[in-house]
Amino acid sequence: MPELPEVETTRRGLLPKVTNRRVRRVMVRDARLRWPVPANLGKVMEQRVIHGISRRGKYLLWDVESSSGGGFLLCHLGMSGSMFTVSARARPALHDHIDIVLSGGTVVRYHDPRRFGAMLWIAGPNPTHPLLDRLGPEPLEPSFDGLHLFRDSRSRSMSVKQFIMDGQVVVGVGNIYASEALFVAGIRPTTPAGRVSLPRYLRLADTIKSTLAKAIRAGGSSLRDYVKADGQSGTFQLDTQVYGRESQPCRVCKSPIRSIRQGQRSTFYCARCQT
DNA sequence: CGAGAGTCCTGAAGGC
DNA sequence: TGCCTTCAGGACTCTC
């Protein structure tokens, strides 16, 4: 289940392998993702050069000669998607839905068992798309801070956990890192967003940044089906403070970690450390 | 407008 | 052993 750190890790892994390569062929074996993969994807990408890959939230944007009649490949990994490079001879496995064959023999393979991901085409020189229009700030940019959270949350009654997971508030904070960041900030996830003070939001913005940055430094948190860009599955254990640790002792105070449901999502917290 | 529920999908895990 | 149910999750989309 890629969250922002996994998406960023994927971007960094793919970047040197695709930049300045020419797309030779696009093979779509199964177009049934969250939205159908455009039937003309091969036609618009083939024989064009990839200038780079950028990221907006959990979306990856491949610049495919956007400056000269091309456009952008817009990718989302959903919750089970991964993109990695394989050799030209590697036979596709189950759920390997798309191959992007590049000059020089590299193949970028998109794998997504649950098909919650997306692969769309944006024609033209600018990466504008309805999916990107209303996204909030990037959590790791200086423009994102506690004051932004505080101002955006006034009069909001939803819980602070659901609030920071709202992509219009800030992008890239998924279910796992939301629980983790709230724990480090000492904030109870159920607190209505509009009742969290400015000092606490300043702290929370910092813990969101540090939690995500730490995960990126670790190369993505390698959750169950996450696969890094080189095709190596992330096998190291995810070292969480609270997520997935129901009934286990809090790493700080030893109280049992609690698990609740918020908006059909599981939330984990320590009732003693988070008030 | 905000809030909450529904929805897509597959695979893992648990119950019987 | 094997079938069935439940759950997990991102985030769009719908309803109230």
Mean of pLDDT over chain A: 89
Q: Which of A51, A74, A81 is nearest to A130 (CA)?
A: A74
Fill in the amino acid letter for A103: S
pLDDT digits (tens, 9 = 90+) for A134-155: 899 999 999 899 999 999 998 8
Q: What is the pTM of this model?
A: 0.91
Active site residue A8: no
For residue A80, what pLDDT is reported? 87
Residue A192 pLDDT? 92
Lowest mean pLDDT among A40-49, A100-109, A261-270: A261-270
Question: A52-64 burial, b for 16+ CB within 10 Å, e for fewer?
Answer: ebebbbbbbbbbb
A119: left (phi over 0), alpha (psi -120 to 50) or beta: beta
Environment class of A174 (CB within 10 Å of its CB; exposed 0-12, middle 13-18, buried 19+): buried
Instruction: Please indicate whether residue A214 is annotated as part of the active site.
Output: no
Residues 28-57 (A) near nucleic chain B, CB < 7 A:
32, 34
Q: Round and report the angstrom distance from CA (A237) to C1' (C3).
A: 32
One-character DSSP codes across A107-170? EEEEE-TT---EEEEEESSS---HHHHT----TTSTT--HHHHHHHHTT--SBHHHHHT-TTTS
Tell me the CA–C1' distance in angstroms for A58 and B10.
21
pLDDT at residue A268 tops 70: yes
